[in-house]
Chains A and B, each alone.
Chain A
Amino acid sequence: MRTDECLAALAEHRTAEVVIASMTSAVRWPAYSDHPRDLIYVPSTMGGAPSLGLGLALARPDLRVVVLNGDGSMLMSLGSLVTIGEQAPPNLVLVVFDNGMYAVTGGQPTPGAGQVDFASMALAARWPITHRFSQLGEWAEALPGLLRAEGPAFVQLTVEPEPTSITAPPVPMSERLTKLLAALD
Protein backbone atom coordinates (compact mmCIF):
# COMPACT_ATOMS: atom_id res chain seq x y z
CA MET A 1 0.00 0.00 0.00
CA ARG A 2 1.06 3.58 -0.50
CA THR A 3 1.60 6.25 2.15
CA ASP A 4 -0.87 8.50 0.35
CA GLU A 5 -3.62 5.88 0.48
CA CYS A 6 -3.06 5.42 4.21
CA LEU A 7 -3.22 9.16 4.82
CA ALA A 8 -6.39 9.50 2.73
CA ALA A 9 -8.04 6.78 4.83
CA LEU A 10 -7.00 8.54 8.03
CA ALA A 11 -8.39 11.85 6.76
CA GLU A 12 -11.70 10.16 6.07
CA HIS A 13 -12.10 8.95 9.66
CA ARG A 14 -10.45 11.81 11.49
CA THR A 15 -12.74 14.19 13.36
CA ALA A 16 -11.37 16.38 16.19
CA GLU A 17 -8.04 14.62 16.81
CA VAL A 18 -4.81 16.59 16.86
CA VAL A 19 -2.60 15.22 14.06
CA ILE A 20 1.15 15.77 14.32
CA ALA A 21 2.67 14.93 10.94
CA SER A 22 6.42 14.47 10.46
CA MET A 23 8.72 13.53 7.56
CA THR A 24 6.92 12.11 4.45
CA SER A 25 3.59 12.47 6.27
CA ALA A 26 4.30 16.16 6.80
CA VAL A 27 4.82 16.53 3.07
CA ARG A 28 1.73 14.56 2.02
CA TRP A 29 -0.85 15.16 4.81
CA PRO A 30 -1.83 18.67 3.62
CA ALA A 31 -3.09 17.06 0.37
CA TYR A 32 -5.79 15.37 2.47
CA SER A 33 -6.36 17.71 5.39
CA ASP A 34 -6.43 21.38 6.25
CA HIS A 35 -7.70 21.09 9.80
CA PRO A 36 -6.87 23.66 12.51
CA ARG A 37 -5.72 20.76 14.70
CA ASP A 38 -3.05 19.69 12.21
CA LEU A 39 0.56 20.34 13.12
CA ILE A 40 2.85 20.02 10.13
CA TYR A 41 5.97 19.40 12.19
CA VAL A 42 8.64 20.90 9.91
CA PRO A 43 11.24 21.90 10.95
CA SER A 44 11.35 19.17 13.55
CA THR A 45 13.87 17.35 15.66
CA MET A 46 14.17 13.96 13.98
CA GLY A 47 12.73 11.32 16.30
CA GLY A 48 10.93 13.89 18.45
CA ALA A 49 7.36 13.63 17.12
CA PRO A 50 6.22 10.76 19.41
CA SER A 51 7.61 12.60 22.43
CA LEU A 52 5.93 15.85 21.41
CA GLY A 53 2.70 13.89 21.09
CA LEU A 54 3.24 12.28 24.48
CA GLY A 55 3.65 15.66 26.16
CA LEU A 56 0.52 17.04 24.55
CA ALA A 57 -1.48 13.90 25.37
CA LEU A 58 -0.41 14.10 29.03
CA ALA A 59 -1.15 17.80 29.33
CA ARG A 60 -4.53 17.52 27.59
CA PRO A 61 -6.26 14.24 28.43
CA ASP A 62 -9.42 15.71 26.90
CA LEU A 63 -7.82 15.69 23.44
CA ARG A 64 -6.90 12.77 21.22
CA VAL A 65 -3.46 12.97 19.65
CA VAL A 66 -2.33 11.11 16.52
CA VAL A 67 1.37 11.16 15.63
CA LEU A 68 2.54 10.24 12.12
CA ASN A 69 6.18 9.15 12.18
CA GLY A 70 8.79 7.71 9.83
CA ASP A 71 10.58 4.42 10.44
CA GLY A 72 13.99 6.12 10.46
CA SER A 73 12.71 8.61 13.01
CA MET A 74 11.30 5.80 15.12
CA LEU A 75 14.67 4.05 15.04
CA MET A 76 16.30 7.25 16.26
CA SER A 77 14.18 7.32 19.42
CA LEU A 78 13.23 3.71 20.14
CA GLY A 79 13.43 4.50 23.86
CA SER A 80 10.43 6.76 23.48
CA LEU A 81 8.35 3.59 23.03
CA VAL A 82 9.33 2.64 26.57
CA THR A 83 8.71 6.13 27.96
CA ILE A 84 5.25 6.20 26.37
CA GLY A 85 4.58 2.63 27.51
CA GLU A 86 5.23 3.69 31.08
CA GLN A 87 3.27 6.95 30.95
CA ALA A 88 0.48 5.14 29.10
CA PRO A 89 -1.59 8.08 27.86
CA PRO A 90 -4.88 6.53 26.73
CA ASN A 91 -5.41 9.34 24.21
CA LEU A 92 -2.32 8.80 22.02
CA VAL A 93 -2.06 6.95 18.71
CA LEU A 94 1.37 6.56 17.11
CA VAL A 95 1.54 5.53 13.46
CA VAL A 96 4.89 4.53 11.95
CA PHE A 97 5.08 4.56 8.16
CA ASP A 98 7.59 1.82 7.52
CA ASN A 99 8.89 2.45 4.02
CA GLY A 100 12.29 0.93 4.82
CA MET A 101 14.05 4.13 3.84
CA TYR A 102 14.97 7.66 4.72
CA ALA A 103 12.59 8.93 2.05
CA VAL A 104 13.06 12.65 2.49
CA THR A 105 16.84 12.50 2.20
CA GLY A 106 16.72 10.63 -1.10
CA GLY A 107 15.64 7.11 -0.22
CA GLN A 108 18.70 5.62 1.49
CA PRO A 109 17.87 2.35 3.31
CA THR A 110 17.28 2.55 7.05
CA PRO A 111 19.12 0.10 9.31
CA GLY A 112 17.22 -3.17 9.15
CA ALA A 113 15.15 -1.80 6.28
CA GLY A 114 11.78 -3.51 6.03
CA GLN A 115 12.69 -6.18 8.58
CA VAL A 116 12.07 -4.40 11.86
CA ASP A 117 9.03 -5.47 13.84
CA PHE A 118 8.21 -2.13 15.48
CA ALA A 119 4.81 -3.37 16.60
CA SER A 120 6.43 -6.15 18.63
CA MET A 121 8.79 -3.60 20.15
CA ALA A 122 5.82 -1.50 21.22
CA LEU A 123 4.16 -4.61 22.64
CA ALA A 124 7.31 -5.43 24.56
CA ALA A 125 7.28 -1.85 25.87
CA ARG A 126 3.80 -2.59 27.26
CA TRP A 127 1.63 -0.65 24.80
CA PRO A 128 -1.86 -2.07 25.27
CA ILE A 129 -2.73 -1.87 21.55
CA THR A 130 -0.30 -2.71 18.75
CA HIS A 131 -0.94 -3.46 15.09
CA ARG A 132 1.06 -4.13 11.95
CA PHE A 133 -0.78 -3.65 8.68
CA SER A 134 0.37 -4.11 5.12
CA GLN A 135 -3.08 -4.10 3.48
CA LEU A 136 -4.97 -0.86 3.03
CA GLY A 137 -8.30 -2.52 3.82
CA GLU A 138 -7.04 -3.67 7.23
CA TRP A 139 -5.85 -0.19 8.11
CA ALA A 140 -9.07 1.46 6.94
CA GLU A 141 -11.15 -1.06 8.87
CA ALA A 142 -9.16 -0.60 12.08
CA LEU A 143 -9.18 3.20 11.96
CA PRO A 144 -12.56 4.02 13.56
CA GLY A 145 -11.79 1.79 16.54
CA LEU A 146 -8.22 3.03 16.87
CA LEU A 147 -9.26 6.66 16.97
CA ARG A 148 -11.56 5.90 19.91
CA ALA A 149 -9.48 3.26 21.65
CA GLU A 150 -8.18 3.34 25.20
CA GLY A 151 -4.52 3.56 24.19
CA PRO A 152 -1.75 4.27 23.82
CA ALA A 153 -2.13 2.58 20.45
CA PHE A 154 0.74 1.77 18.12
CA VAL A 155 0.40 1.06 14.40
CA GLN A 156 3.13 0.00 11.99
CA LEU A 157 2.10 0.49 8.37
CA THR A 158 4.26 -1.32 5.82
CA VAL A 159 4.20 1.05 2.88
CA GLU A 160 5.87 1.24 -0.52
CA PRO A 161 9.25 2.98 -0.63
CA GLU A 162 8.78 6.36 -2.30
CA PRO A 163 11.56 8.93 -2.03
CA THR A 164 10.39 12.51 -1.63
CA SER A 165 11.78 15.84 -0.52
CA ILE A 166 10.81 18.07 2.33
CA THR A 167 10.60 21.83 2.69
CA ALA A 168 9.05 23.88 5.46
CA PRO A 169 5.47 24.99 4.72
CA PRO A 170 5.17 28.62 3.58
CA VAL A 171 3.34 29.57 6.78
CA PRO A 172 5.98 30.17 9.52
CA MET A 173 6.02 27.76 12.48
CA SER A 174 5.06 30.53 14.90
CA GLU A 175 1.84 31.15 12.93
CA ARG A 176 1.12 27.44 12.63
CA LEU A 177 1.50 27.07 16.42
CA THR A 178 -0.73 30.06 17.11
CA LYS A 179 -3.41 28.53 14.90
CA LEU A 180 -3.05 25.15 16.56
CA LEU A 181 -3.17 26.56 20.08
CA ALA A 182 -6.32 28.50 19.23
CA ALA A 183 -7.87 25.26 17.97
CA LEU A 184 -7.07 23.46 21.23
CA ASP A 185 -9.20 25.76 23.41
Chain B
Amino acid sequence: MPTIDLAGIAAQLQACGITHMVWIPDSEMGGLEAHLDPSIRLVRACREGEAIAIAAGLMLGGARPAVVIQCTGFFEAGDAFRNVAKDLGLPLFLLIGHRNRTAFLEGRSKDSAAKHLQAVLGAWELEYIALEPGGDPAVIGELYARSQGSGSAAAVIVAE
Protein backbone atom coordinates (compact mmCIF):
# COMPACT_ATOMS: atom_id res chain seq x y z
CA MET B 1 0.00 0.00 0.00
CA PRO B 2 1.42 3.44 -0.88
CA THR B 3 2.43 5.50 2.11
CA ILE B 4 2.69 9.24 2.57
CA ASP B 5 5.46 10.77 0.48
CA LEU B 6 7.06 12.75 3.30
CA ALA B 7 10.11 13.71 1.24
CA GLY B 8 7.80 14.96 -1.50
CA ILE B 9 5.77 17.02 0.97
CA ALA B 10 8.93 18.51 2.49
CA ALA B 11 10.20 19.39 -0.99
CA GLN B 12 6.91 21.15 -1.74
CA LEU B 13 7.14 23.20 1.46
CA GLN B 14 10.62 24.29 0.48
CA ALA B 15 9.59 25.09 -3.09
CA CYS B 16 6.72 27.25 -1.74
CA GLY B 17 9.22 29.32 0.22
CA ILE B 18 7.79 28.25 3.56
CA THR B 19 9.86 29.89 6.30
CA HIS B 20 8.36 28.24 9.40
CA MET B 21 6.62 24.94 9.99
CA VAL B 22 4.47 25.25 13.09
CA TRP B 23 3.37 21.84 14.12
CA ILE B 24 2.23 19.07 16.37
CA PRO B 25 3.06 15.69 14.85
CA ASP B 26 0.94 12.60 14.44
CA SER B 27 2.11 9.08 13.77
CA GLU B 28 1.80 9.29 9.98
CA MET B 29 3.21 12.78 9.37
CA GLY B 30 5.62 12.58 12.28
CA GLY B 31 8.54 11.72 10.01
CA LEU B 32 8.22 15.00 8.13
CA GLU B 33 10.60 16.71 10.51
CA ALA B 34 13.45 14.49 9.35
CA HIS B 35 12.93 15.57 5.73
CA LEU B 36 12.59 19.27 6.42
CA ASP B 37 15.10 21.58 4.76
CA PRO B 38 17.17 23.33 7.43
CA SER B 39 16.12 26.68 5.97
CA ILE B 40 12.62 26.07 7.38
CA ARG B 41 12.42 26.87 11.09
CA LEU B 42 10.47 24.35 13.10
CA VAL B 43 8.19 25.74 15.80
CA ARG B 44 6.83 23.08 18.16
CA ALA B 45 3.52 24.14 19.67
CA CYS B 46 1.74 22.60 22.64
CA ARG B 47 -1.79 22.93 21.23
CA GLU B 48 -3.03 23.36 17.71
CA GLY B 49 -4.89 26.59 18.52
CA GLU B 50 -1.57 27.97 19.63
CA ALA B 51 0.08 26.82 16.37
CA ILE B 52 -2.50 28.73 14.35
CA ALA B 53 -2.08 31.92 16.40
CA ILE B 54 1.71 31.66 16.05
CA ALA B 55 1.29 31.34 12.29
CA ALA B 56 -0.87 34.47 12.32
CA GLY B 57 1.86 36.45 14.06
CA LEU B 58 4.42 35.09 11.62
CA MET B 59 2.27 36.24 8.70
CA LEU B 60 1.86 39.72 10.20
CA GLY B 61 5.65 39.84 10.31
CA GLY B 62 5.95 38.90 6.63
CA ALA B 63 6.97 35.25 7.09
CA ARG B 64 5.44 32.32 5.18
CA PRO B 65 4.36 29.71 7.71
CA ALA B 66 2.68 26.35 7.21
CA VAL B 67 0.73 24.77 10.06
CA VAL B 68 1.03 20.99 10.10
CA ILE B 69 -1.41 19.20 12.41
CA GLN B 70 -3.71 16.19 12.62
CA CYS B 71 -7.45 16.57 12.05
CA THR B 72 -7.99 15.96 15.77
CA GLY B 73 -5.96 19.11 16.36
CA PHE B 74 -7.93 21.02 13.77
CA PHE B 75 -11.08 20.18 15.72
CA GLU B 76 -9.36 21.44 18.88
CA ALA B 77 -8.24 24.65 17.18
CA GLY B 78 -11.60 25.82 15.85
CA ASP B 79 -11.67 29.18 17.59
CA ALA B 80 -8.11 30.05 16.62
CA PHE B 81 -8.87 29.12 13.03
CA ARG B 82 -12.02 31.25 13.09
CA ASN B 83 -10.16 34.27 14.43
CA VAL B 84 -7.15 34.03 12.11
CA ALA B 85 -8.93 33.11 8.89
CA LYS B 86 -12.17 35.04 9.37
CA ASP B 87 -11.54 37.97 11.77
CA LEU B 88 -7.95 38.73 10.80
CA GLY B 89 -8.48 37.51 7.21
CA LEU B 90 -5.01 36.00 6.93
CA PRO B 91 -4.16 33.37 4.27
CA LEU B 92 -3.45 30.60 6.75
CA PHE B 93 -2.05 27.48 5.10
CA LEU B 94 -2.60 24.12 6.74
CA LEU B 95 -1.53 20.54 6.13
CA ILE B 96 -3.98 18.40 8.03
CA GLY B 97 -3.38 14.70 8.57
CA HIS B 98 -6.73 13.00 7.91
CA ARG B 99 -6.57 10.13 10.35
CA ASN B 100 -7.87 6.82 8.96
CA ARG B 101 -9.20 8.50 5.81
CA THR B 102 -8.30 5.63 3.52
CA ALA B 103 -9.68 2.94 5.84
CA PHE B 104 -12.83 4.98 6.40
CA LEU B 105 -13.45 5.48 2.68
CA GLU B 106 -12.99 1.74 2.17
CA GLY B 107 -15.44 0.93 4.99
CA ARG B 108 -12.76 -0.50 7.28
CA SER B 109 -12.87 2.24 9.93
CA LYS B 110 -15.55 4.05 11.85
CA ASP B 111 -13.11 6.66 13.22
CA SER B 112 -15.18 9.76 14.03
CA ALA B 113 -12.11 11.89 13.29
CA ALA B 114 -12.07 10.49 9.75
CA LYS B 115 -15.82 10.81 9.32
CA HIS B 116 -16.36 14.42 10.33
CA LEU B 117 -13.33 16.31 9.04
CA GLN B 118 -14.67 17.28 5.64
CA ALA B 119 -18.02 18.39 7.06
CA VAL B 120 -16.14 20.64 9.50
CA LEU B 121 -13.93 22.07 6.73
CA GLY B 122 -17.08 22.70 4.73
CA ALA B 123 -18.74 24.46 7.66
CA TRP B 124 -15.74 26.77 7.87
CA GLU B 125 -15.94 27.39 4.11
CA LEU B 126 -12.27 26.46 3.95
CA GLU B 127 -10.92 25.56 0.53
CA TYR B 128 -9.13 22.22 0.64
CA ILE B 129 -7.84 19.39 -1.48
CA ALA B 130 -7.04 15.82 -0.50
CA LEU B 131 -3.65 14.26 -1.06
CA GLU B 132 -4.47 10.58 -1.41
CA PRO B 133 -1.94 7.75 -0.91
CA GLY B 134 0.36 7.72 -3.93
CA GLY B 135 -0.94 11.15 -4.98
CA ASP B 136 1.33 13.88 -6.34
CA PRO B 137 2.47 16.26 -3.57
CA ALA B 138 2.61 19.01 -6.21
CA VAL B 139 -1.00 19.80 -5.23
CA ILE B 140 0.50 21.43 -2.13
CA GLY B 141 2.40 23.99 -4.17
CA GLU B 142 -0.59 24.65 -6.39
CA LEU B 143 -2.98 25.25 -3.50
CA TYR B 144 -0.44 27.34 -1.59
CA ALA B 145 0.06 29.63 -4.59
CA ARG B 146 -3.71 29.96 -5.01
CA SER B 147 -4.29 30.72 -1.35
CA GLN B 148 -1.56 33.34 -1.13
CA GLY B 149 -2.78 34.85 -4.41
CA SER B 150 -6.37 35.12 -3.22
CA GLY B 151 -5.44 35.99 0.36
CA SER B 152 -7.63 33.20 1.77
CA ALA B 153 -6.91 30.28 4.02
CA ALA B 154 -6.56 26.81 2.50
CA ALA B 155 -5.77 23.28 3.59
CA VAL B 156 -4.35 20.13 2.12
CA ILE B 157 -5.76 17.09 3.87
CA VAL B 158 -3.25 14.29 3.80
CA ALA B 159 -4.79 10.82 3.77
CA GLU B 160 -3.58 8.63 6.59
Q: A-side interface residues toward B, CB under 8 Å? A: 43-49, 51-60, 63, 77, 79-80, 82-83, 86-87, 173-174, 177, 180-181, 184
Interface size on B, residues (CB 8 A): 33
The answer for the CA separation of A52 and B43 in the assembled complex, in Å, is 13
The answer for the CA separation of A63 and B84 in the assembled complex, in Å, is 22
B46 and A83 within 8 A (CB): yes
CB neighbors of A among B49-65 (8 A) = 49-63, 65
A45 and B57 within 8 A (CB): no
CB of B62, distance to nearest CB on chain A (Å): 6
The verdict on B136 contacting chain A, using a C-beta distance below 8 Å, is no
B98-137: contact bitstring with A at CB < 8 Å (1 yes, 0 no)?
0000000000000000000000000000000000000000
A-chain residues with CB within 8 Å of residue B57 when the two chains form the complex: 51-59
Q: B-side interface residues toward A, CB under 8 Å? A: 19-20, 22, 41, 43-47, 49-63, 65, 79-80, 82-84, 87-89
CB of B40, distance to nearest CB on chain A (Å): 13
> Known contacts A83-B44, A177-B88: does B83 contact A55 (CB below 8 Å)?
no
> Known contacts A56-B60, A58-B58, A59-B60: does B47 contact A77 (CB below 8 Å)?
yes
A59 and B58 within 8 A (CB): yes
> Known contacts A45-B80, A77-B47: does B53 contact A58 (CB below 8 Å)?
no
CB of B77, distance to nearest CB on chain A (Å): 9
